[in-house]
């Protein structure tokens, strides 16, 4: 890298080479280039590096469906609970995209199954809204709370009903019923 020092006091401005390097690093996460990222992490690249939207490398790898890259980042200390500027966690991003291998990698790497950003929306709610029955079953099997409410007061079941998901509302009602009273999941 070239040094573009102009004789003034050091400031927060980054030179063009640093900006280009950062762009490549974030692109590695987006594209799942785990070998390149692994080399950089071993050289000291911070695993929780964020871009201008608050997306961490883990968020980008998760959103774009790269389970191996997500696992690598977690192994190097990436924080699975860091939400981006929109309040989305990597687990919720993977649920939104329907990326089951990433969801598994995140959960196996220590992501909180009921982790949420400021809106309180969990991966379970996101998966339910998009009728991802297999993902809902996985999250429930890993301890997701079907009765948990988001900041608007919605449970995963009520959010799924609002989105007209055909299968997950009943799946969640049965799960909530199994955890609560015998009549909790019964039809009205």
User: Domain containing 150 — which CATH number?
Assistant: 1.25.40.20
Q: Which domain holds residue 40?
A: 14-112
Q: Which of 34, 39, 150 is nearest to 87 (CA)?
A: 150
- Asked if residue 21 and residue 104 are part of one domain, the reply reads yes
What's the whole-model pTM score? 0.86
pLDDT recorded at residue 178: 76
- Asked if residue 91 and residue 72 are part of one domain, the reply reads yes
Q: Can you list the pairs that 168-172 forms with residues at least 24 positions away whose Cβ atoms lie under 8 Å?
A: 168/127, 168/128, 168/129, 168/131, 168/132, 168/133, 168/136, 169/128, 171/128, 171/133, 171/136, 171/137, 172/128, 172/136, 172/146
Number of structural domains the chain divides into: 2
- Asked if residue 139 and residue 68 are part of one domain, the reply reads no
Whether residue 188 lies inside any domain: the answer is no
Give the phi and the psi of residue 110 in degrees, each rounded to 5. Answer: 105, 5
**Which parts of the chain have pLDDT scores under 50?**
1-8, 181-188
Calpha distance 153→63 (Å, rounded): 26
- Asked if residue 48 and residue 136 are part of one domain, the reply reads no
The last residue of a domain, from among 112, 146, 171: 112
- Asked if residue 91 and residue 145 are part of one domain, the reply reads no
């Amino acid at each position: 890298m070239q040094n573009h020092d102009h004789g003034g006091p050091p400031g927060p401005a980054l030179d063009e080479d640093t900006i280009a390097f950062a762009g490549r690093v974030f692109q590695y996460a987006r594209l799942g280039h785990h070998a390149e990222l692994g080399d950089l992490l071993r050289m000291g690249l911070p695993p929780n590096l964020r871009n201008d939207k608050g997306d961490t490398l883990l968020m980008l790898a998760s959103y774009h469906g790269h389970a191996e890259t997500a696992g690598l980042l977690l192994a190097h200390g990436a924080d699975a609970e860091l939400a981006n500027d929109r309040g989305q966690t990597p687990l919720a991003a993977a649920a939104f995209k329907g990326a089951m291998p990433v969801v598994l990698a995140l959960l196996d790497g220590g992501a909180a199954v009921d982790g949420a950003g400021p809106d309180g929306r969990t991966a379970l709610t996101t998966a339910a809204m998009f009728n991802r029955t297999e993902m809902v079953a996985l999250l429930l099997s890993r301890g997701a709370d079907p009765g948990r409410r988001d900041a608007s007061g919605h449970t995963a079941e009520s959010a799924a009903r609002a989105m007209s998901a055909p299968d997950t509302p009943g799946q969640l009602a049965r799960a909530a019923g199994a955890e609560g009273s015998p009549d909790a999941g019964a039809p009205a």
